[in-house]
Structure 1
Amino acid sequence: MIERVVGEIRDFAEKIGLAEKKILVLFSGGKDSSLVLYLLKKAGLNVSALTFFHRWSWRETLSWAMKFTKSLGVEHYLVDITEGLLREAVGRKGPVCIHCKKVMLWNAKWFALNNGFEVLAKGDNANDKIIGALLDQCEGDIRLCGIPRIGLPILRPLIKYTAEEVERLADEAGIKPYRMYEHARRRQWREGCPLQYIDKEETIKPELMDLAYRVNYEVSKIARRREVRVSVRVPSFEVMAWNQEEEILREVGEVVRRFRGGSYAPAGKA
């Protein structure tokens, strides 16, 4: 299946003139963006990776991402967006991801333009399509779509493949990203960063960002050891888990009680 998909990407690139362009992949270190990087490199395209991180990013996943790009022989840029995220998010309502995506997209645009990249690439698959979404309304093949405000075309090599097909492709390629065993927001492996677990009705504050990181980092140790998926919302301390057992929940509960005892916890929160 890999060879067929690589062939399709190579044919598409030649047809629309991508073969000679510099492509910058927005690379999170997750399975989708890792597969995009792998496929574009295997198709012989001129590809580099761009990873954004901040003070609360998982260092383990960042370390894995750096090893992965080194194994591919791909140039890898790391950009710290902590200041931009604080400026955009603090004092506003969540979820944090909305504000973070704005910061990342803006930085990606200017990084690409200032460093001679002509195309941005993302890991969206068919399950990520939303009716009415801007990228899915472009004329022609939705694998390549221009957004005037960005000023660069967006390449999405996986957009016609389902999440299940992407999973099979990644397995065939031997791509196994480091997992923090987060609960995430979907049953598919959709990890991100701990800031997504700040309660959405809360006003975002640095103390909450710190708390979301600290409690979920401790919980992830249990989740990895037990091979279950667990995360904790803050400051409500709601525990979210897949495949949970009473013994595991008791362990997680001990972590939660420790943090609740000396951290940000507004009155009235369960």
Structure 2
Amino acid sequence: MRDIESVVEEIAGFSREHGLYEKRILVMFSGGKDSSLVLYLLKEAGLDVSALTFFHRWSWRETLNWAMGFTKKLGVEHYLVDVTDGLLREAAGRKGPICINCKKVMLWNAKWFAINNGFDVLAKGDNANDKIIGALLDQCTGDIRLCDIPRIGIPFFRPLIKHTAGEVERLADEVGIRPYRMYEHARRRQWREGCPLQYIDREEVVTEELMNLAFGVNYEVSKIARARRVRVSVRVPSFEIMCWNCDGETLREVREVISKFGGNEGEASARKTEE
């Protein structure tokens, strides 16, 4: 198993080889473990690095606050950009999942923010488990850690792309990176939180009202999940409950929340998952 020191040395060697010490690097920083670890590693390697975080009206404020505290502790310049208007334009009137539209907005906003503010390279926290054959950033002609694709117009640096999600988790734990968690159910077995808009039912036509509902019900449900240390989220407008290791009392409290948002407490279905 590789320790954090050897990974920093690897990044430093790669950066020297590819001239990254002469570049300004902007990390797309969500505040999750992957992007937090990338920011930490690049800072430790002595690179000129800053952070860029996108947020919108439906973002979790708790995770944003944690992210701001993390960059302050690292001594890294941190830019915050509100993409509410752009996300509404891209998502409203289309069918889910909304994450596809959100990623598109963030990618192109990151590109133009970097170019307009004098950054030479964008960095992402993608790990080996995120690699999808045929995706834009996997059309690299050389080392997949550094992609220079004309269609994007700015190189992308992915220091963790050859590390598995498990390795990233272990390395983050080694240096004490513990992001704030909303105790979402998420869409994968690993901790993979994001924002409540991912819980809009698939094939549902997205509206601003539906986005507000997804945030409202899941924010209230997250309080229950944190208190009970279980993972719960609610799809809307179906009000399907998704939970990891929920007991009957937890489900009862979640159904009470659902009833306050117009759902039928007695009909809300639950999909329980055991870890």
TM-score relative to the length of structure 2: 0.94
Give the match for residue 254 of structure 1. 256
Map of 1:232 onto structure 2: 234
| Structure 2 portions without partners, runs of 5+ | 270-275
Shift of 1:148: 1.5
What SS does the corresponding residue of 1:203 show, helix, strand or coil? Answer: coil
Structure 2 residue 113 is the aligned partner of structure 1 residue 106 = no
- Give the CA deviation at 1:131: 2.1
Asked if the contact 1:29/1:177 (under 8 Å) is kept, the reply is: yes
- d(CA) in 1 for partners of 2:120, 2:175: 27
Which region of structure 1 is more displaced relative to structure 2, 88-97 or 172-181?
88-97
1:159 shift after superposition: 0.5
- Give, in angstroms, the shift of residue 137 of structure 1: 3.2
8 Å CA contact 1:235–1:269 kept in 2: the answer is no
Q: Which amino acid aligns with 2:104?
A: K
**Count of residues paired in the alignment:** 265
Which among 172, 177, 180 is matched to residue 178 of structure 1? Answer: 180
Q: Contact (CA 8 Å) 2:240, 2:268: kept in 1 or not? A: no
Q: Which amino acid aligns with 2:211?
A: M
Q: Provide the rounded CA distance (Å) in 1 between the counterparts of 2:60 and 2:262.
A: 22
Aligned to 2:98: 96
Aligned to 2:207: 205
Letter aligned with residue 22 of structure 1: R
Cα separation, 1, equivalents of 2:240 and 2:125: 30
Structure 2 matches for 1:210-225, cutoff 5 A? Answer: 210-225=212-227
Q: In structure 1, how many angstroms separate the alpha carbons of the residues matched to 2:168 and 2:17?
A: 23
CA displacement 1:138-182 (0-9 Å, x = unmatched): 122110012212100110000010011000000001000000000
SS in structure 1 of the partner of residue 155 of structure 2: strand
SS at match of 2:39: helix
Does 1:115 find its partner at 2:120?
Answer: no
> In structure 2, what is the equivalent of residue 265 of structure 1?
none
Contact 2:239/2:263 (CA < 8 Å) preserved in 1?
no
1:58 Cα shift? 0.3
Match of 1:76 among 78, 99, 108: 78
Offset at residue 206 of structure 1 (A): 0.6
Q: 1:57 aligned to 2:81?
A: no
Structure 2 letter corresponding to 1:250: R
1:133 counterpart (123, 132, 135) = 135
The AA in structure 2 aligned to 1:32 is D
Structure 2 counterpart of 1:66, which letter? M
Cα deviations across residues 230-252 of structure 1 (Å, max 9, x unaligned)?
A: 00000000000111111111111
Return the alpha-carbon distance in structure 2 between the equivalents of residues 143 and 7 of structure 1.
15
AA of the residue aligned to 1:48: S
Match of residue 195 from structure 2: 193
Segments of structure 1 that go 5 or more residues without pairing to the other structure are: 263-267
Partner Cα separation in structure 2 for residue 122 and residue 152 of structure 1: 13
In 2, Cα distance between equivalents of 1:74 and 1:182: 28
**Displacement of 1:16 after TM fit?**
0.6
Moved more, 242-251 or 185-194: 242-251
| Paired residue type of 1:71 | K
Matched residue type, 2:106: M
Residue 11 of structure 1 aligns with which residue? 13
Match of 1:22 in 2: 24
Which residue is equivalent to 2:272? none
1:156 aligned to which of 152, 155, 158: 158
Bigger mean CA deviation after superposition, 43-52 or 133-142: 133-142
Give distance in 2, aligned partners of 1:214 and 1:200.
Answer: 18
Q: CA deviation at 1:269?
A: 9.3
Of the three residues 236, 243, 246, the one matched with 2:245 is 243
* AA at the equivalent of 1:147: I
